[in-house]
Structure 1
Amino acid sequence: MTRPASLELGLIGNCAISALVDRQACIVWCCLPRFDSDPVFHALIDSPEGIPADGAFSIEIEDLVRSEQAYDEGTAILRTRLFNGHGDAIEIVDFAPRFFNRGRSFRPALLVRRVCALQGHPRVRVRLRPRGDWGRTVPPVARGSHHLCYAMPHGNLRLTTDAPVIYVHDETWFSLAEPLNLLLGPDETLERGVGEVARGFEEQTALYWRGWTRSLALPLEWQDAVIRAAITLKLCLYEETGAIVAAMTTSIPEAPNSQRNWDYRYCWLRDAFFVVRALNSLSEVATMEEYLRWLHNVVRDAKGGHIQPLYGVGLEKQMPERQLDHLRGYRGMAPVRVGNQAHEHVQHDVYGNVVLGASQSFFDKRLFRGADASDFALLEAVGERAWAVHDQPDAGMWELRTRARVHTSSALMSWAACDRLAKIATRFGLGERHSMWRTRADAIRERILREGWSDKRKAFAESLGGHDLDASVLLMAEVGFLDPQDARFIATVDALEASLCDGPYMRRYEAADDFGRPETSFNICAFWRIDALARIGRKAQAREIFEAMLAARNSLGLLSEDTDPRNGELWGNFPQTYSMVGVINGAVRLSAPWDTVI
């Protein structure tokens, strides 16, 4: 029995690799050996006839009638239970090993699947169909006594298992008489039995995640939602380099048949800053330290010049965008795109995002390596770029491909760069540098207040001198540009609610773009609205909208980029870091304080 592809998916991973698992325990997406590699399993974007399909890894029960799925509490370990109509049931445990071993992080490019019977005498089938070259290649398979080896373009992929290998190879139904383990990863021989290795990996991975979760400074309310969001953000960190990807997928449409299909498996400096800031609010600073390593390389390499809005996880500058016409797309909604043309864009908000992302490191005593005066000098070069371009047209944070304006949000982030550099200069007792950056910040602020305000709309507009509305101006309060009690900010919130909101949902902007007017709401905008409402004192309304956004998550607590306000269906790349950031920020902003119960 097949089923349509959907975003009712769970994310497993270990900060080196990841995979998406659907409600029936089918792995429908996994890129190896890194987040932006050729997918080993690509069924999510090429299965219009339904799942399971080629490019997937399924474990099935005969005569399935229902399923249950949940994460083990406080972990990235996913547990799926499948039931048939005869009283039989199985459980599949999915995870990627992650724990500390010999003084370092152990995160192999390995997926572990453990299967056991819960009741009855179930018959099961394993269908393992990896594909290479974006689904074009069926890899040759070699069979060993306890493994199958697939000759993949990026290197051999080995399934080591205590299941009957012939049944796995031939996709044969068989009775599940005892627990099974399936380890899919590098073509390496295990030093111990597969069951012992899988069991040990699960126990140690669970201990790691529970210890990590325990260290979080959680708000009193909505803790389960915050924990799941935090773990999801952590899994988007490519730990080897420190890059943070915006999402794990490519080409999930932002709206049905919209052609808004993009590849988000890269590190946007804007998105990464918001991830770091959200995790910092929970006192999780290790991700920031890893990201700062990566960011430092970006800044050093720029040498005071242009910084791209995004890079590859290995600091790649070129991500040429191309369409793969042989793939039919999510639910048949092509195109499938690989790479992202945005690496060629001029987006001036990037300089503010760099400075904002690094600024905490100059003040936080918890860091192993706090930033010093040499780092400040490096960051000043970024500030010089922010000052030089603050009044120049760009593609804006929404990456418009055919229109350039002096976007208010870009000027706002240039102000933030100068403002934070002034504060850092004070930290080092550099009075002249403080005065210079403060003067520049004040000049940018005065221009935004003068030219960003639209008397016609009684709101700050999306561009200087413009009149169209854009949700990004809500960041004025979040970055400290404007007091939220300022009458102009309150009027802007009112205007945006009237023009961009559909109930709890919020669109990015009202003007048509390269593909027409947006149809779906952009989830992070709804969370920006929540933050703004809370800051201006409308906390009851903010809480109501926040609860609605939590209800919009899938059954495992994950969000994609967009939501259809007509039916609540998730669209856009998944899981979207921006959206998960909103969950954390909303809970931290709105939660009752701990001293109300202590």
Structure 2
Amino acid sequence: MTKHTYEFGLIGNCAFLGLIGTDTAVRWLCWPRFDSSFVFGSLLDPDKGGEYSIRPANHAESFSSRQTYLANTNVLRTEITTPTGRYRVTDFAPRFAQYERYYKPLMFIRKVEPLEGTPRIRVVCRPVGHYGELALTRRRSSNHIAFLGLEEEMRLTTNIPLTYVLEEEDFVLNETKYLVLTYGAPLEAPLESTAERFLRATVDYWRTWVKSTSISDFHQTQVIRSALALKIHQYEDTGAIIAATTTSLPEAPGSTRNWDYRYCWMRDTYYILTAFNNIGHFEEMERYFHYIVNISTKIQGRYQPLYGISGQSALVEQELPLAGYLGNQPVRIGNDAYTHIQNDVYGQVLVALLPLYIDCRFIDPERPNPEKLVYETLRLIEATMDQPDAGLWEFRNLAQYHCYTYLFHWAGSHAARKVARALGNADMEARAERLMQAAADHIEQCYNPGLGAYTNAIGSPHLDASGLQLILMGYLDPGSERARRHLEALEKALKTPEGLFYRYRHADDFGTPETTFLICSFWYVEALASVGRVEEAIREFEKLTTYTNHLGLLSEDVDAKTGSQWGNFPQAYSHVGLVNAAYRIAQKLAKPNFI
């Protein structure tokens, strides 16, 4: 079986994301939000997904492609070599400081440069609406084409003869051309000089952002790429960070495990904030805090496992009449996991919000009443202490008393105790300590003496990778014999010969998982470093870096046998895992030369 990788580059500016194929075709771009319908979505349906490409005139003939990022930026370059010449397409989403805020328009700029010979190219721009069900009408103007039918006008402004674009005719590329596609507010400025100014400013922004990261020299290039990818998965308008750019890319071919990941999962809050803290980026943390606080203060009853990027609750799952990625159906939008009971979310919220109350960098006179928020969340922990749930992996037809849930009951109560001490609230401290002990009692019921390990749930014989967090969250002393045996049992049950980790190996609602979940492999690396097996941690980390695509981007899942990438892409949480694992190793190496 051949190795499958996602041959796409990612662009974005914290307002939108796009995936560009190595043939210059825009395979995925949703406007006006991350979770909107695609305007280009050939990733999920070659016929209904529209097209935006700058291909060789006769792309049936052989041509070669090389795709790279401008160093330390999210600016993508694709070089195409044909029998008659060579050209380069530079793709970017403008982002830079302007008027005391960030300029991040719904604007996608493409610069097309001849490099050698006389390449002939053909530009196709056919956006669609309503997930391919709506064909847009076109209106020709003096120097642009308007696409009509969506809530707001899309406009393509270019110095390419409009006739060539409208009729999809090929032409010789003998000078630099620019294409600026906008949604809503159009480009009302000189084309060439503005595109060049925006390119320079965007490159400068990203390189300045990278310079402000605090990372060691341990695999610095890959950490930078992961940090850049993670950054643009934050929807800056609200602060939400989505799990992945895409929907319905299968976890394994034919598995039907095709989910919409363009939402914000509460269960991952702690790991995301840890990643931004580990690279020293305060602004992104603060925006995400505000998003979480906004949700926390409007909750009536329980927390959901996930929310939309504007905090919306109802994410009703639907199946669309689309062909699917490589024919994999169904294609889903929305995610019914929002209806699940996942009780670890309460501890996640408390752990995530802890810095707001004990980190001296956060001074916010409009901060919500901490006693009210902490008391309410502790109440929810207490109310769900003896309630089974769907667990971290969102089992759809199975409720258990999950060890991971109790771990976050414990960790959340631990965080609440720190807040109580900072506030001098003895009653809150006593309540938090009582719940810590109750959670620990439940965790210990998951211990299996025969295995020398903690199983995934009370009374269950199964192990799962979330058990690694018992070490990483500090419940188990990393230097203890119990931690050592627990890790060894997890290795024996879940590790592949290649060093990858399955989430679990027992059957769920869709059968037995076929691919490994990449963030679990990074958790394993962190656990190795934590227990002092640092050389092994480095070796396993370096293996994991071979599972990126050609640009250093990570998927959700990896087929251990072939090394193939599967699942939604790019997966923000896989990049979170890499950043945190690299940090954990760097701390163990204790090198002083941080930048």
Partners of 1:202 and 1:5 in 2: CA distance? 32
Partners of 2:187 and 2:526 in 1: CA distance? 50
Return closer, same or farther for 1:170/1:5 CA change in 2, 3 Å cut-off. farther
Letter in 2 for 1:315: G
Deviation at 1:457, TM superposition (A): 2.4
Q: Is the 8 A contact 2:250 2:256 kept in 1?
A: yes
Paired residue for 2:369, among 365, 369, 374? 374
Deviation at 1:207, TM superposition (A): 1.1
Q: Is the 8 A contact 2:31 2:183 kept in 1?
A: no
- Any idea what SS the aligned residue of 1:21 has? strand
Counterpart for residue 134 of structure 1: 131
Partners of 1:351 and 1:428 in 2: CA distance? 20
Paired residues, what number? 587
Paired residue for 1:320, among 299, 310, 316? 316
Structure 2: runs of 5 or more not aligned = none
Q: Is 1:69 aligned with 2:67?
A: yes
Partners of 1:590 and 1:474 in 2: CA distance? 16
Q: Is the 8 A contact 2:26 2:52 kept in 1?
A: yes
Q: How does 1:425-444 map to 2 (within 5 A)?
A: 425-444=420-439
Q: Is the 8 A contact 1:552 1:568 kept in 2?
A: yes
Partners of 1:22 and 1:180 in 2: CA distance? 20
Partners of 1:426 and 1:189 in 2: CA distance? 53
Deviation at 1:520, TM superposition (A): 0.3
- Any idea what SS the aligned residue of 2:435 has? helix
Q: How does 1:295-334 map to 2 (within 5 A)?
A: 295-303=292-300, 305-324=301-320, 326-334=321-329
Partners of 1:214 and 1:367 in 2: CA distance? 23
- Any idea what SS the aligned residue of 1:105 has? strand
- Any idea what SS the aligned residue of 1:302 has? coil
Q: Structure 1 stretches (4+) deviating beyond 6 angstroms? A: none
Partners of 2:23 and 2:239 in 1: CA distance? 33
Partners of 1:291 and 1:15 in 2: CA distance? 13
Q: How does 1:276-287 map to 2 (within 5 A)?
A: 276-287=273-284
Counterpart for residue 378 of structure 2: 383
RMSD across aligned positions (CA): 1.8
Letter in 1 for 2:471: A
Q: How does 1:19-168 map to 2 (within 5 A)?
A: 19-47=18-46, 54-62=49-57, 63-86=61-84, 88-168=85-165
Deviation at 1:597, TM superposition (A): 9.4
- CA deviations on 1:358-394 (whole Å, 9 max, x unpaired) are 1122222333538968224313311221222123100
- CA deviations on 1:172-230 (whole Å, 9 max, x unpaired) are 11011211111111254533211111111111111111111111001121111111111
- CA deviations on 1:435-483 (whole Å, 9 max, x unpaired) are 221222022113312x110123221000012211110011112222111
Partners of 2:404 and 2:355 in 1: CA distance? 21
Counterpart for residue 459 of structure 1: 453
Letter in 1 for 2:382: W
Counterpart for residue 226 of structure 2: 229
Q: Is the 8 A contact 1:364 1:370 kept in 2?
A: no
Paired residue for 1:528, among 519, 523, 527? 523
Partners of 2:385 and 2:135 in 1: CA distance? 51
Partners of 2:517 and 2:487 in 1: CA distance? 16
Deviation at 1:160, TM superposition (A): 0.7
Structure 1: runs of 5 or more not aligned = none
Letter in 2 for 1:473: G
Counterpart for residue 203 of structure 2: 206
Deviation at 1:413, TM superposition (A): 0.7
TM-score (ref. length: structure 1): 0.95
Q: Is the 8 A contact 2:447 2:453 kept in 1?
A: yes
- Any idea what SS the aligned residue of 1:447 has? helix
Q: How does 1:477-492 map to 2 (within 5 A)?
A: 477-492=471-486
Deviation at 1:96, TM superposition (A): 0.6
Partners of 1:371 and 1:447 in 2: CA distance? 37
- Any idea what SS the aligned residue of 1:509 has? coil
Partners of 2:593 and 2:215 in 1: CA distance? 15
Identity score, percent: 39
- CA deviations on 1:492-514 (whole Å, 9 max, x unpaired) are 21111111111211100121000
Q: Is the 8 A contact 2:409 2:435 kept in 1?
A: no
Deviation at 1:8, TM superposition (A): 1.8
Deviates more, 1:411-420 or 1:362-371: 362-371
Q: How does 1:158-557 map to 2 (within 5 A)?
A: 158-303=155-300, 305-324=301-320, 326-367=321-362, 369=364, 374-449=369-444, 451-502=445-496, 503-557=498-552
Deviation at 1:5, TM superposition (A): 9.6
Q: Is the 8 A contact 2:49 2:131 kept in 1?
A: no
